[in-house]
Amino acid sequence: MFKERHFKSYSGLLYDKTGISISPSKREMFHMKIQKLMRRHSVECYDEYFDLITNINDTKHVQDFINTITTNTTEFFRENAHFEYLKDNIEEFLKSNPRIMQNNEIRLWCAASSSGQEPATIAMVLKECLDPRISIKILATDISSKVLKIAMKGSYTDGECEGISKYYLMKYFKKTHNGYQLKHTILKSISYRYFNLMQDFNFKSNFDIIFCRNVMIYFDRDVQETLINKFYENIVNEGLLFIGHSESLINKMHSYKYLGPSIYKKLI
Ligand SMILES: C[S@@+](CC[C@H](N)C(=O)[O-])C[C@H]1O[C@@H](n2cnc3c(N)ncnc32)[C@H](O)[C@@H]1O
């Protein structure tokens, strides 16, 4: 039986490793995912499986736990208002960030990039509106090794590509037997890395734009506040932060300037 003490140990471990809090409404789903993992590893007892995922000499089990528990829902052009905003405001953004034109390079971070649809959308949109001499460098990170593997391939089913207009499909994808393959011109602008948002940020230089969408909803208020302030430290002055449409910086201590729904600017 999945007792209260089991829930406390498993959800505590998840919180410590990822920052994710399990809300009461998600408790049953969480339990079902643990049962699925136990069946996969032929373990019958909750305590035994907990020992397995907390064994410091065997990190593959805890990674499998994280891969299974995280929700990786994403899609191309998700919350498209952000991409429209980027296109509509790119000239003004370049004017306020002259360094981009001077270095011929724009640096972005797509934090919690899941299976790659979000960084690929960012790359395609920037290709459309930026001078081709500007090199697009997108760091795309996630805590799930499973989705990172999918992202690196850049291969998607017909269903996954439904939200992409014919124009973008023709220009940036090659047709495959059951879907579409992203062209090299897009994949080469994205570097995929395993990265836990709970860890310290030690990037060699700050980002012009950070996208961190639809992951903060899984974190509690304190974790969210710490995270947005870590982002602030890692964005250039006049740089932008995009968060998910259902997320907000209201009731959190921060120094961003509000630009529009779920769009913020660092302004010193
Ligand atoms: C719902 S998806 C959002 C994907 C994409 N940003 C979007 O908006 O479509 C949330 C992603 O956050 C990742 N994630 C959860 N906790 C994380 C953490 N602590 N560090 C990095 N990524 C995390 C999950 O693995 C998952 O792929």
CATH code at position 52: 1.10.155.10
In this structure, what CATH number is given to the domain that contains residue 155?
3.40.50.150
C-alpha 11/C-alpha 33 separation (Å) is 12
Q: What is the mean pLDDT of the chain?
A: 97
Alpha carbon of 213 to ligand 1 centroid (Å): 8
The structure tokens listed for 92 are: 């003004």
Q: Please indicate, yes or no, if residue 112 is contained in any of the structural domains.
A: yes
Q: Measured in whole angstroms, how far is the alpha carbon of residue 114 from the centre of its chain?
A: 5
Domain boundary among 29, 45, 69: 69
Domain boundary among 69, 89, 123: 69
Q: Which domain holds residue 39?
A: 4-69
247 and 155 in a single domain? The answer is yes
60 and 94 in a single domain? The answer is no
pTM as predicted: 0.98
Q: Please indicate, yes or no, if residue 217 is contained in any of the structural domains.
A: yes
pLDDT at 93: 98
193 has which bridge partners?
Answer: 141
Q: Please indicate, yes or no, if residue 92 is contained in any of the structural domains.
A: yes
Q: Please indicate, yes or no, if residue 235 is contained in any of the structural domains.
A: yes
119 and 46 in a single domain? The answer is no
List of residues 6+ apart from 195 with CB closer than 8 A: 111, 141, 142, 143
CA angle at 189 for the pair 183 and 193, rounded to the nearest 5°: 110
Q: 144 in ligand 1 pocket by Cβ < 6 Å?
A: yes
90 and 189 in a single domain? The answer is yes
Q: Tell which residue, 93, 102, 117, 137, has the closest CA to residue 265.
A: 93
State the Rg of the chain over Cα.
20
Q: Please indicate, yes or no, if residue 195 is contained in any of the structural domains.
A: yes
95 and 33 in a single domain? The answer is no
182 and 116 in a single domain? The answer is yes
Q: Which atom of ligand 1 is nearest to the CA of 67?
A: 25
Q: Please indicate, yes or no, if residue 76 is contained in any of the structural domains.
A: no
169 and 140 in a single domain? The answer is yes
Local structure of 211: helix, strand or coil: strand
Domain boundary among 29, 47, 69: 69
Q: Tell me how far CA of residue 64 lies from CA of 34, 186, 197, 268, in angstroms.
A: 11, 29, 18, 42
Alpha carbon of 58 to ligand 1 centroid (Å): 23
Q: 140 in ligand 1 pocket by Cβ < 6 Å?
A: no
Q: Atom 12 in ligand 1: which residue has the minimum CA distance?
A: 112
- Section 14-35 average pLDDT: 97
Q: 78 in ligand 1 pocket by Cβ < 6 Å?
A: yes
Between the CA atoms of 134, 244, 212 and 166, what dihedral angle is there, to the nearest 10 degrees? -40
- Section 85-96 average pLDDT: 98
DSSP state letters, the chain: ---HHHHHHHHHHHHHHH-B---GGGHHHHHHHHHHHHHHTT---HHHHHHHHT-TT-HHHHHHHHHHHS-----TTTTTHHHHHHHHHHHHHHHH-HHHHHHTEEEEEEES-TTTHHHHHHHHHHHHHS-TTSEEEEEEEES-HHHHHHHHHTEEETGGGTTS-HHHHHHHEEE-SSEEEE-HHHHTTEEEEE--TTSPP--SS-EEEEEE-SSGGGB-HHHHHHHHHHHHHTEEEEEEEEE-TT---TTS---PEEEETTEEE---
Q: Please indicate, yes or no, if residue 173 is contained in any of the structural domains.
A: yes
In the block, which residue shows the tokens 């000499």? 57
**pLDDT tier at 13, thresholds 50, 70, 90:** very high
pLDDT at 266: 98
pLDDT at 72: 98
63 and 85 in a single domain? The answer is no
Q: Please indicate, yes or no, if residue 8 is contained in any of the structural domains.
A: yes
Q: 121 in ligand 1 pocket by Cβ < 6 Å?
A: no
153 and 251 in a single domain? The answer is yes
Percent of the chain with pLDDT over 70: 100
Condensed to tens digits (0 to 9), the pLDDT of residues 191-215 reads 999 999 999 999 999 999 999 999 9
37 and 141 in a single domain? The answer is no
pLDDT at 176: 98
pLDDT at 91: 98
The structure tokens listed for 10 are: 């498993």
Helix axes 46-53, 59-69, angle to 10 degrees: 110
- Give how many domains the chain has, as a whole number: 2
Q: 224 in ligand 1 pocket by Cβ < 6 Å?
A: no
**pLDDT tier at 224, thresholds 50, 70, 90:** very high
139 and 13 in a single domain? The answer is no
**pLDDT tier at 105, thresholds 50, 70, 90:** very high
25 and 157 in a single domain? The answer is no
Local structure of 208: helix, strand or coil: strand
pLDDT at 4: 95
